[in-house]
Amino acid sequence: MAEASEVLMSVLSTIRVPRPGDRVHKDECALSFATPESEGGLYVCMNTFLGFGSQYVDRHYKKTGQRAYLHISRTRKTQKEDDNGSGSGDPPKKKPTRLAIGIEGGFDVEQEHYEEEVKVVILPDRLEVTSEDLATMPDVVRERVSLSMAGLMAADSVSHTLQVQQWDGEVRQESKHAADLKQLDNGIKIPPSGWKCEVCDLQENLWMNLTDGKVLCGRRYFDGSGGNNHALLHYQQTGYPLAVKLGTITPDGADVYSYDEDDMVLDAKLPEHLAHFGIDMMTMEKTERTMTELEIAVNQRVGEWEVIQESGATLRPLSGPGLTGMKNLGNSCYLNSVMQVLFTVPDFQRKYVSNIEKIFDDAPADPTQDFKTQVAKLGYGLLSGEYSKPAPDPGDDPSLTPEPRGDQVGIAPRMFKALIGRGHPEFSTNRQQDAQEYLLHFINMVERNCRSGQNPSEAFRFLVEERIVCQQSLKAKYTQRVDYIVQVPVPMDQATNTEELQEAEHRREEAEAAGAPPPPMPRACIPFSACLAALSEPETLTDFWSSAVQAKTTASKTTRFASFPDHLVIQIKKFTFGLDWVPKKLDVSIDMPDTLDLSALRGTGQQPGEELLPEVAPPPLVTPDVEVKAPVLDDSTVSQLCEMGFPLEACRKAVYYTGNTGIDAAMNWVMGHMDDADFSAPLVLPSCSSTPGTTPTEAVSEEHLATIVSMGFSRDQATRALRATSNVLERAVDWIFSHLDDLESMEVSEGGRSAGESEGNREPPPGPRVRDGPGKYELFAFISHMGTSTMCGHYVCHIKKDQQ
């Protein structure tokens, strides 16, 4: 131990004790998905607090010179079930009673069934020092190392902090409608039992509206169970906001839902509101599971595969390279589905997996915060097969309690999810998200981080040609724009089973009139060819400003492909808005063809003999004073849009870009820009201070500068972006990508040359790089959203590999 003592003394100055706020990565390797449970355990640097698997710890030592690491190794305990259903010698594990994490009664997140071994390892010779060895060493060494070890073990890991922060799903807010709720004097009195839906006679999942006393069934869940949506439909027809779940009423309270606020809420006047309809809260007993209990039951279910299409089939689990599963981190199925498909695209494999050694070598000091490193780590994890090995057969060793036979370890992309979602109002949460929006968000990040070198998102990038013909002058205008996704409309009037749908609707109306349960509705069958035809149909523009006639007139717009990408992403637009602006999902069946020929949709450009519209700008909608730094927005229009459920910043942009011209114009802007990647990003206003020569001289963050420069921009460009956005990094990045043309022409000195020399030698900035193919495609993957609602459900991806 004398040698170990001397070595520790030599590195003592590099050993740190974690302080509050330090990021401790003790659950996952920064460069792989190794954990303390993996073979070889996890090495945590006692200076940077970064974790590394056994295959990468030497790389970190050689790069940084850090020698002291805390080695954490966990092995699963042998669990022999006793009569209490607990592990041998342990008290029975309590079932969760609260929809919460990290608090009494909530879901348990501790690793209870592992034996843990901790020791200090000194590189490069991997000299091991245990706690017992430390006891024999000089006081100065023992105290410093022991404090660091204890601090590291006591600290919350970053993954724990990000994924399972103390969270209580039962904390509810007082409804804004409760204090002044309108209740009708209609004479209705509700009996203490024997309830049924007034529309369909359902006798469970019943809700009583607290305004008019109507008893109606709840929502239909994404797996087909639950109610028939009659309580929700009643709210949409009447606007009466609050309902109480019958069967959950006790002297302590009840489940109250606010349709307007779209959440479970508190009602301080609940006893009074119930008494209005003859319900004495103090005498009621609970007969139904509360919504919290139902959610807990769902979260306890081991297999979410029970509710997908193949739940009744016998499936053979696969494993090996390219067949690695991803763990659901709580509503992360949208992320998992998108990334599984993306890493079957050769461009992403070449950029991030084939190039992984160089990416790791070039990684910054903290690779957990580096986009390329974390994408490469995920890609290698999915494709290498290292985490896709079948679990051992229980018959091999009866003393083991392995995963169910055929399952694989898989990967949990916690570090990746945290980095990609950082700063985003939706993707940084554990809520369900839209897969298409996430794909665009991820492509946007790829674009930002591939300013130089190979850009894999080019595999999806294509040019759209829009041809607008003024119906008065018959002159045309051609524009091109870049896109990554083809959004195909669903023409409901083109269903091939119209007669069946009409008969079913007639039966439903008869059942409704007779007070009987509604019969199941068949699904509309829409040919994919009809969807393509709807995509290519001319669109009529009623308020087109024609430069030829110098006035507003009618025009027709046709959209075609100016180029065809290598891989075509198609989104079937099954999510829409009802007449009441409530988002809904179309219940349709569309047979996708295995092959697709879109060559007939290629744009042809200006036709022989066709005259073009003059290049004259239309008159501005508003002429604000250039000195005004923030326009005055119509708050009432912004509020109306927000009440429809759109993000605040999107509503502000809608009002700003339509020049305060009213709700109709703003609503049209919203509907036309909902699919923009920056739809809900903050409104960034042009300012006189951002023009050349008038840039303010306040200091900018060096850290923010370094981040933007690492994306391939110059220091001058990064500085200008930060000053134009008040030093806010996320806004600066959005600003810089929306001002690329201005930045390309900046008269700044580069590389020691004068501004004049630089300008004279600069080539014109190239347009977006797009590939062009024949427009013929073969289906290789699809992502399905399962569920009837836009706000919940489950995403699953299917991928064709080796013709399977």
Min mean pLDDT across 421-425, 461-465, 579-583, 665-669 is at 579-583
Any binding-site annotation on 207? yes
Q: Give the pLDDT confidence of 100-117 residue by residue, as tens digits.
A: 544 555 555 444 467 889
Q: Give the pLDDT confidence of 52-72 residue by residue, as tens digits.
A: 999 999 999 999 999 999 999
pLDDT at 619: 53
Question: What is the pLDDT averaged over residues 359-365?
Answer: 92
Which value, to the nearest 10 degrees, does the dihedral of the CA atoms of residues 138, 144, 147, 150 take?
-80
- Contact assessment for residue 299 and residue 107, using Cβ atoms and an 8 Å cutoff: yes
* Count of Cβ atoms closer than 10 Å to residue 568 Cβ: 20
pLDDT at 108: 53
Min mean pLDDT across 94-103, 551-560, 776-785, 794-803 is at 94-103
Question: What is the pLDDT averaged over residues 543-566?
Answer: 90
Look up tokens 């609503």; give the residue. 667
Any binding-site annotation on 220? yes
Q: What span, in angstroms and rounded, lies between the C-alpha atoms of 476 and 464?
A: 16
- Contact assessment for residue 773 and residue 766, using Cβ atoms and an 8 Å cutoff: no
Any binding-site annotation on 441? no
Any binding-site annotation on 222? yes
Question: When comparing pLDDT for 509 and 678, which is higher?
Answer: 509
Q: What span, in angstroms and rounded, lies between the C-alpha atoms of 375 and 371?
A: 6
- Contact assessment for residue 133 and residue 145, using Cβ atoms and an 8 Å cutoff: no
SS3 653: helix
Judged against a pLDDT cut of 50, whether residue 237 lies above it is answered with: yes
- Contact assessment for residue 656 and residue 634, using Cβ atoms and an 8 Å cutoff: no
pLDDT at 1: 64
pLDDT at 756: 36
Question: When comparing pLDDT for 635 and 334, which is higher?
Answer: 334
pLDDT band at 194 (very low <50, low <70, confident <90, very high): confident
Min mean pLDDT across 3-17, 211-225, 461-475 is at 211-225
pLDDT at 33: 95
Q: What single string gives the DSSP state of each residue in 332-381?
A: -HHHHHHHHHHTTSHHHIIIIITTHHHHHHT--S-GGG-HHHHHHHHHHH
Look up tokens 């110098």; give the residue. 550
pLDDT band at 283 (very low <50, low <70, confident <90, very high): confident
pLDDT band at 789 (very low <50, low <70, confident <90, very high): low
pLDDT band at 736 (very low <50, low <70, confident <90, very high): confident
pLDDT band at 312 (very low <50, low <70, confident <90, very high): low
Sorted by where each starts, the structural domains of the chain and their CATH numbers stand as 1-78+98-168 (3.30.40.10), 206-301 (3.30.40.10), 332-393+405-452 (no CATH), 462-592 (3.90.70.10), 635-673 (1.10.8.10), 702-747 (1.10.8.10)
**Active site members:** 333, 794
Question: When comparing pLDDT for 713 and 447, which is higher?
Answer: 447
**27 dihedral zone (left: phi>0; alpha: psi -120 to 50; beta):** alpha
Q: What span, in angstroms and rounded, lies between the C-alpha atoms of 64 and 70?
A: 16
Q: Give the pLDDT confidence of 573-587 residue by residue, as tens digits.
A: 887 765 555 567 788
Any binding-site annotation on 217? yes
Any binding-site annotation on 259? yes
Look up tokens 């028939």; give the residue. 228
Look up tokens 């994306």; give the residue. 711
pLDDT at 352: 96
- Contact assessment for residue 582 and residue 236, using Cβ atoms and an 8 Å cutoff: yes
Judged against a pLDDT cut of 90, whether residue 695 lies above it is answered with: no
pLDDT at 512: 81
Q: What span, in angstroms and rounded, lies between the C-alpha atoms of 437 and 427?
A: 10
Any binding-site annotation on 352? no
The residue among 797, 798, 804, 790 whose CA lies nearest residue 222 is: 790
Judged against a pLDDT cut of 60, whether residue 362 lies above it is answered with: yes
The DSSP 8-state label assigned to residue 156 in this structure reads P
pLDDT at 740: 66
- Beta partners for 556? 469, 540
pLDDT at 269: 93
Return the structure tokens found at 690. 């951002």
Q: Give the pLDDT confidence of 130-150 residue by residue, as tens digits.
A: 888 888 888 888 899 999 999
Judged against a pLDDT cut of 80, whether residue 9 lies above it is answered with: yes
pLDDT at 88: 43
Residue 287's φ and ψ, nearest 5 degrees, are -125, -10
pLDDT at 401: 45
Cα atoms found within 13 Å of the Cα of residue 633, Cβ hemisphere only: 24
Judged against a pLDDT cut of 80, whether residue 222 lies above it is answered with: no
Mean of per-residue pLDDT scores for the chain: 80
Question: What is the pLDDT averaged over residues 256-283?
Answer: 90
pLDDT at 36: 93
Distances (CA, A) of 647 to 256, 422, 680, 792: 25, 18, 6, 18
pLDDT band at 168 (very low <50, low <70, confident <90, very high): very low
SS3 746: coil
The dihedral through the CA atoms of 356, 360, 362, 363 has a sign that is positive
pLDDT at 155: 83
3-state helix, strand, coil in the chain (%, to 5): 30, 15, 50
